[in-house]
Structure 1
Amino acid sequence: MTAGRPAERPRWQSECRDAIGVFGVVFIAYLLGAWLGWKSFGSAVGPAFFYPSAGVTVAAMMLTRRTRWPAIVVAIVLAEGLVDLYFGNPPAVAAGYALANVVEPLIGASITLRWCRGVPDLRDRKDFAAFVAGACVIAPVFGGLIGGTVASWSHGSGWFSDVLQWWAGDGVGVLVTAAPILLWSKQYAIVKARPLEAAVVVLLASVLSVAAFWSQAQPSMLILPVLAWAALRLDVLGAALTGMMIAFVATTMTSRGRGVFSEMNLSPASQLAVTQLFVAVLLLVSLLMAQEAAARLQALRDREAERREQVRLRSVSDLALHLSAALTPTEIGLTLERQLLADGGADALSLGLLSRDGERLEWVTRVGLPAAVVGSASDGVPLADATMAAETVRRGQPILLRNRAEFNARYPQTSSWFDGTGAQTLASWPLDAGGRPIGVMQLMWRRPQPLDAAQCAYFSAAATMVGQALVRARAYADDHARAAVLQSAVLPAVPGDADGLEICVGYEPTDAAHGVCGDWYDVMPLSGNRTYLAVGDVVGHGLSAVTDMAQLRSAARALAIQGLPASGLLAELNSFTRHASKGRLARLTVATFDSAAAVLRYGLAGNPPPLLRRKATGQVTQLSSASGPALGPLTRANYTEGLVQLQPGDIVLFYTDGLVERRGTRIEAGGASDIDAGIAEAEMLLAEWDPNISLSAASASLHQMLAPRPRVDDVCTMVIRVISPGP
Structure 2
Amino acid sequence: MPGAPPTHVSEPGTERAVLMGRLTAALAEALTSEEVVQAVGTHVLPPFGADGLIVSVMESGRHRVVGSAGYTQDFVHLLDGIPIADNPVAADALRSQGLWFVESVADHRRRYPMLEDVAAASQKQSWAFLPMIASGHAIGVCVISFTQPHSFNDEERALLTALCGLVGQALERARLYDVEHARAQGLQRSLLPRTLPCLPAASAAARYLPAGRGEQIGGDWYDVIPLSADRVAMVIGDVMGHGIPEAATMGQLRTAVRTLADLDMPPDELLSRLNDLVSDLGEDWYATCLYAVFDPITRICSFSLAGHPPPVVVHPDGAVDMPRLTPDPPLGAAEPPFEIHQLPLPEESLLVLCTDGLVESPDQDLDRGLAQLQQILAQHAVPVFTARDEADSTRHLDDLCDTVVSALLPQHGRTIDDAVLLIAHTGAVNASDVATCILPDDPRAAGQAREFVRERLDVWGLDELAITTELLASELVGNVIRHAEGPIRLRLLNSRCLTCEVYDGSLSTPRIRHAAYTDEGGRGLQLVSALSRRWGARYLRDGKCIWTEQDIPHRTT
Normalised TM-score (structure 2): 0.40
Instruction: Tell me: higher relative CO, structure 1 or 2? Use CA pairs within 8 A at least 6 residues apart.
Output: 2
Normalised TM-score (structure 1): 0.31
